[in-house]
Structure 1
């Protein structure tokens, strides 16, 4: 399937991208397809958008798969379906996430619990369970592989209106580092990207509204990221050249937040 003794080739791989209906996930799926990989486009509820993503992909061998990542059994089925459809998953991109507003001063206790439960189930447990399922198949098949997590600047900067989102993204970064150590003996590299504000459909209203100028001013470049810029970072971390970057959390935020 396009592998070499030295490791994975840059093209001809099976790639599973979660949350690929639109935004960052769509850009990531397109970038892998453009370089010759076969892509499984995952969606949860936005099937029509996912079908648009699938139809626009270059090359052949792509597939659309639907699953609620909050359901562990569906996660297991998703890993199996992707393995069969692609002839093996060489790269997993954990991109799917939910972002439910629940500012503590204005949220009821019941709504607070619901927001945390849904966010943890998808953003953290869904990614953790899918990583386990995919990694075990890589190991059992004797295949090297890559797992790339889409984290967030909010893991470091804070998300006051979406605290569960910030917390789960921080946990996702930590999960990636733990898996990087655990899976390295099996030739599986794991890394994360931490984007800042990205121009996606989900935030178009904010960028076009009164706060748009302030959001762009967060970066000294005076703009927000294009989804393709996040996809470029994912491509690098999933490439054979990036094996020694396993365990890293790569900031992709246009110098809008600098960690020390």
Structure 2
């Protein structure tokens, strides 16, 4: 039995990942940004016992350190880190370069980069250093995005942050391999999480489903199944890899 910390696990993809890890037999620290009730709902839906909810802002260094310390102590060491927490593209954060004021442009970049890239980097450092101190093997899985490759003209900061996350994961794979720590990333396409429900049910839903030749979008549970593999010994030789996970909706050479 391993112990895992899943960031942004109060709903959506993170909740599905936490459930899947618990079903495998892992104990899980369910991280939430501000909605403790949703995190506790996630825990109630999980198999097994010994899971905890831990809140905090991963973009804040002090808060990030407290999250990892709490999870590490409660679970007798974190073996698996899933960097899932992220600011998602929404209409309120749209920042096309030809439509956005410079002040709003700066705000959008800070918002996405602080959480989606720097937050994940902080969490990785903190968990990795504890693993190294314990001389224990471990796994880090970054939840990136196909947007890192196909371009995000309405949300360039999001695309850049996710591309940076993929590159960061590759750097960490090389740095942490001598310590027995496997680092991988997954790049999902559009996923039918709770916060995307309105979009899928609206006018854009048909076009989004048509992006894949399967005629649908992915599900949080499918992402979770892939994360189970990436956080297992079978994925050791995948370290440094980025798994495209978009139903053939975007193919890169």
Where structure 1 has 5 or more consecutive residues not aligned to the other structure, the ranges are 1-11
SS, match of residue 42 in structure 1: strand
1:86-235 matched pairs, under 5 angstroms: 86-99=75-88, 100-235=93-228
Question: In structure 2, which of residues 58, 65, 73 is the aligned counterpart of residue 69 of structure 1?
Answer: 58
User: Are 1:65 and 1:78, in contact at CA under 8 Å, matched by a contact in 2?
Assistant: yes
Where structure 2 has 5 or more consecutive residues not aligned to the other structure, the ranges are none
Detail structure 1 runs of 4+ shifted over 4 Å in the superposition. Answer: none
Q: Give the TM-score, by structure 2 length.
A: 0.97
SS, match of residue 250 in structure 1: strand
Q: CA deviation at 1:98?
A: 0.4
Q: Give the TM-score, by structure 1 length.
A: 0.94
- Which has the larger displacement, 250-259 or 39-48? 39-48
Q: What is the aligned residue count?
A: 249
1:239-254 matched pairs, under 5 angstroms: 239-254=232-247
User: Are 1:70 and 1:118, in contact at CA under 8 Å, matched by a contact in 2?
Assistant: no
Aligned-residue Cα RMSD (Å) equals 0.8
Q: CA deviation at 1:172?
A: 0.2
d(CA) in 1 for partners of 2:70, 2:94: 33
The corresponding residue for 1:50 is: 39
